[in-house]
A and B are shown apart, each in its own frame.
Chain A
Amino acid sequence: MRLILRLAWRNVWRNPRRTGLTVSATVFAVLLVIVFVSMGAGIHEQMIEDAVRLSSGHASISGRGYLENRTLEQFIDFDPELARQLDATEGVVGWAPRVVGFGLLSSGPDTHGIAVLGVDPDRERWVTTLPERVRDGRFIGQPGGREIVLGARLAKSLEVGLGDEVLLYSVAYSLEMAYELFTVVGTMKLPDSAMERGLAVVHIADAQAFFVYGDRVTEVAILAGSADDTAQIVSAVSAGVGDEVEVHGWPEIMPELVQFIFLDDAGMYIMLLILVVVVAFGILNTLLMSVLERRREFGVALALGLRPRAIFVLVYLESMALAALGLALGLGIALPLVLYLVGHPIDLDNEAMKGAYEMLGFEPRISWKLKPTHPLGSAITIFGVAALAALYPAFKASRARPVDALRSV
Chain B
Amino acid sequence: MAILEARNVTKVYETRGVETPALRGVDLEVEAGEFSALAGPSGSGKTTLLNLFGALDEPTTGSVILEGQCLGELSAMELADLRLHKLGFVFQAYNLIPVLTARENVEFVMELQGVKPRERQERAEKLLAEVGLADLGAKRPLEMSGGQQQRVAVARAIASGPRIVLADEPTANLDSKTAGQLLDLMHTMNRERGVTFLFSTHDPMVIDKASRVVRLVDGRISADERR
Contact = CB atoms under 8 A, between A and B. Distances in A.
Interface of A: 2-3, 7, 10-11, 14, 296-297, 300-308, 401-403, 406
Given A402-B56, A406-B56, A300 B97 contact: yes
A64 B61 CA distance: 86
Given A7-B97, A308-B80, 8 more contacts: A3-B111, A7-B100, A11-B99, A14-B98, A296-B95, A300-B95, A306-B80, A306-B112
B213 interface: no
Contacts of B89: 300, 303-304
Interface residues of B, number: 26
Contacts of B99: 7, 10-11, 14
B51 A403 contact: yes
Interface of B: 51, 54, 56-57, 76-77, 80-81, 83-85, 89, 91, 93, 95, 97-100, 108-109, 111-113, 156, 160
Contacts of A301: 97
A2 B120 CA distance: 14
B111 A302 contact: no
Contacts of B100: 7, 10
Nearest to B51: A403
5 contacts: A11-B99, A303-B54, A304-B83, A304-B112, A305-B81
A350 B76 CA distance: 68
A11 B99 CA distance: 7
Contacts of B85: 305
Given A296-B95, A297-B97, A300-B91, A305 B56 contact: no
A296 B97 CA distance: 10
Contact of A305 (B51, B80, B95, B97): B80
Contacts of B57: 401-403
B152 to A, nearest CB: 13
Contacts of A403: 51, 56-57
Nearest to A10: B99
Contacts of A307: 77, 80
B211 to A, nearest CB: 25
Nearest to A305: B84
Contact of B108 (A11, A296, A304, A401): A304
Contacts of A305: 80-81, 83-85, 109, 112-113, 160
A19 to B, nearest CB: 13
B91 A304 contact: no
Given A296-B95, A297-B98, A304 B84 contact: yes
Contacts of B51: 403
Nearest to A12: B99
Nearest to B93: A296
CB-based closest 9 A-B pairs: A305-B84, A10-B99, A403-B57, A300-B95, A403-B56, A402-B56, A305-B83, A3-B111, A307-B80
A61 B40 CA distance: 97
A331 B51 CA distance: 50
Contacts of B83: 302-305
Contacts of A300: 89, 91, 95, 97
A110 to B, nearest CB: 85
B109 to A, nearest CB: 5
A315 to B, nearest CB: 14
A3 B80 contact: no
A308 B78 CA distance: 11
Contacts of A3: 108, 111-112
B219 to A, nearest CB: 17
Contacts of A303: 54, 56, 83, 89
A301 B85 CA distance: 14
Contact of B80 (A2, A14, A302, A401): A302
